[in-house]
Amino acid sequence: MSTGKEACHARTCLGRGDTVVIVGRDTEKAETVPGARFIRADLSLVSENRRVIEQIGRVRVRTGL
């Protein structure tokens, strides 16, 4: 999460029952959105991108739509 706007949007999605996955290196920023799943990764590395894709594929998705 790099901005308050992104965190606000993530909380809105969680509030309607959606699954939210945050991907990044900063666990502290991810903690600003309780209930979101966090995958720690350095997306500048191809291997990390592949790992994240695999992990997201295993997430049980919920949507409030």
Average of pLDDT values for 7-29? 92
Amino acid identity, position 1:
M
What is the pTM assigned to this prediction? Answer: 0.78
pLDDT of res. 22? 93
Residue pLDDT, tens place only, 20-57: 999 999 888 888 899 999 999 999 999 999 999 999 98
Q: Is the dihedral of CA 48, 51, 57, 61 positive or negative?
A: negative
